[in-house]
Amino acid sequence: MDFLPIFMNIKGRLCLVVGGGEVAKRKAGVLLEAGARVRVVAPEIDPALSAMDGVTSIVQRFDATHLEGVMLVIAATNDRAVNAEVSRLAKESSIPVNVVDDPEHCSFIMPAIMDRSPLMVAFSSGGASPVLTRMMRGKLESMIPQNFSRLAAFAERYREKVKQYVTNPAKRRIFWENALDGVVAEKVLTGDESGAEAMLQAMLNDEDNIVRGEVYLVGAGPGDPDLLTFRALRLMQKADVVVYDNLVSKPIVDMTRRDAERIYVGKKRADHTLRQEEINALLVRLAHEGKRVLRLKGGDPFIFGRGGEEIETLAAQNIPFQVVPGITAASGVASYAGIPLTHRDYAQSCMFVTGHLKDGTMNLDWDALARPRQTVVVYMGLHGLDTLCAKLIEHGLPGATPIAIVQQGTTQNQRVVTGTLSDLPQKQEVAQLHAPTLIIVGGVVKLREKLQWFHPHLD
């Protein structure tokens, strides 16, 4: 370790900035933000710098007397000799000194920071590679939600109270782990502070039972892991147990927490490994055991996902849950296949229907589907492709209407077959695409010839 990382309390203390330009102004700004009083010394000082609240300007060349009473120095002139002199004198008086962009003359360096005040993360490569430092910060910035500050502020506010309620330090640690990593935190992060407060209070009132299960109903998108949301990823890495079905691609299941228990609940057409009621009951049982349960579903949980039924059971049992939307197959598959779902020239509306009905028939409102200038997206429709094409023609759509089948869209196995209502059934006989497939009907399908694009990360 080349440097000792420390956070210094400079509230109300006097710091010196030597230099009167842009860089000096920026450095003075940081010191002021941390609550210091700042003395600025330079023969010429930017008026905007002098005017900063908390700054005292001395319009002179720097000399040793300016170090009097100072706890920290930053040299920010554009004169290397002056900077070196500031550094030498400060070191002589054992005052920590930073010379901007000149690590050799520094006794301390200023890290890059990620500010989630009161939570603060400092990054440094000890001057070895500022670019790498920035990249690392960028990575963390995207992993730690902006509103994490709120969580830290919330914890600070309740620190004393929790201390009074939960006197045993070991228990208190578990209490906070649960609160800050569970449903209380989720509530704070989504802005529901009063809900979080109520939850925390309930936990405090029931100290023996502070481990509380919860369920995250999460949409995993159509297949490509890049299409997950940040929230989905965060919950995937937090859950103790993952309940998933065959629509969730393997690379996505692999992104869940390494030590999480994984339960496969199947659900292919007519091959239900667990029936829906059994899945509902499973979620309830796991949550009652105090687990954080991730119910991972393909696409969006509220679009042909029976997500509504699953949370109905949870709500009835008073189990905390949240729903995270995902990119639904229609949206993901269409863009990866180069088929816009609406287009001013071809379709002013778009309809999502399922071709797999409860009773096994395909009893759709054909007149509504066979209207011109609209796009129809059929989920779970492969099985009924012949019926679909015949019925649409029978109800008025021209046989030449474009139609596409997309197999496993957005994944490496994506295959697309296009044709017309008249010829697609035969084309599928030859192509033999298999589920999951999405069927898209309408003029927009023709645009694929122009808009097809190459997916570098899929090939």
Residues recognised as catalytic: 245, 267
Phi, psi of 440, rounded to the nearest 5 degrees: -120, 125
d(CA 289, CA 283): 10
d(CA 97, CA 454): 53
With CA atoms as reference, report the closest residue to 352 among 369, 337, 333: 369
- Is residue 263 within 8 Å of 289, Cβ to Cβ? no
- In the complex, the smallest distance separating the C-beta of residue 316 from ligand SAH, rounded to whole angstroms, is 22
Phi, psi of 23, rounded to the nearest 5 degrees: -65, -45
97-99 vs 72-75, strand pairing mode: parallel
Residue listed under structure tokens 């920290």: 72
- Is residue 294 within 8 Å of 256, Cβ to Cβ? yes
Instruction: List residues bridging with 14 in a β-sheet.
Output: 37
- In the complex, the smallest distance separating the C-beta of residue 409 from ligand SAH, rounded to whole angstroms, is 4
d(CA 389, CA 420): 9
Q: Which residue lies nearer to ligand SAH by CB, 305 or 442?
A: 305
Task: Write the burial class of residue 383 (CB in 10 Å: 0-12 exposed, 13-18 middle, 19+ buried).
Answer: middle
* Both tokens assigned to 375: 């796009």
* Both tokens assigned to 170: 């070991």
Residues at the interface with ligand SAH (CB under 6 A):
222-223, 247, 297-300, 303-305, 328-329, 333, 379-380, 406, 408-410, 435-438
Q: Which residue lies nearer to ligand SAH by CB, 248 or 421?
A: 248
Strands ordered across the beta sheet of 415-420: 349-354, 374-379, 437-441, 402-407, 415-420
Q: Which residue lies nearer to ligand SAH by CB, 31 or 333?
A: 333
- In the complex, the smallest distance separating the C-beta of residue 197 from ligand SAH, rounded to whole angstroms, is 34
Task: State the sign of the Cα–Cα–Cα–Cα dihedral 59, 61, 63, 67.
Answer: positive
Q: Which residue lies nearer to ligand SAH by CB, 165 or 352?
A: 352
Report the residue closest to ligand SAH, judged by CB. 299
Q: Which residue lies nearer to ligand SAH by CB, 16 or 334?
A: 334
- Is residue 42 within 8 Å of 66, Cβ to Cβ? no
- In the complex, the smallest distance separating the C-beta of residue 404 from ligand SAH, rounded to whole angstroms, is 11
Q: Which residue lies nearer to ligand SAH by CB, 178 or 375?
A: 375
The alpha carbon torsion through 56, 60, 62, 67 (nearest 10 deg) reads -40
Task: Write the burial class of residue 459 (CB in 10 Å: 0-12 exposed, 13-18 middle, 19+ buried).
Answer: exposed
- In the complex, the smallest distance separating the C-beta of residue 4 from ligand SAH, rounded to whole angstroms, is 52
Q: Which residue lies nearer to ligand SAH by CB, 41 or 405?
A: 405
Q: What is the DSSP secondary structure assignment for residue 444, as one 8-state letter? A: G
103 Cβ neighbours under 8 A, 6+ residues apart: 109, 126, 127
- In the complex, the smallest distance separating the C-beta of residue 304 from ligand SAH, rounded to whole angstroms, is 4
Q: Which residue lies nearer to ligand SAH by CB, 88 or 434?
A: 434
- Is residue 443 within 8 Å of 436, Cβ to Cβ? no
Phi, psi of 80, rounded to the nearest 5 degrees: -60, -35
321-324 vs 374-379, strand pairing mode: unpaired
- In the complex, the smallest distance separating the C-beta of residue 289 from ligand SAH, rounded to whole angstroms, is 27
With CA atoms as reference, report the closest residue to 30 among 64, 87, 76: 76
- In the complex, the smallest distance separating the C-beta of residue 440 from ligand SAH, rounded to whole angstroms, is 10
Q: Which residue lies nearer to ligand SAH by CB, 7 or 453?
A: 453
- In the complex, the smallest distance separating the C-beta of residue 223 from ligand SAH, rounded to whole angstroms, is 4
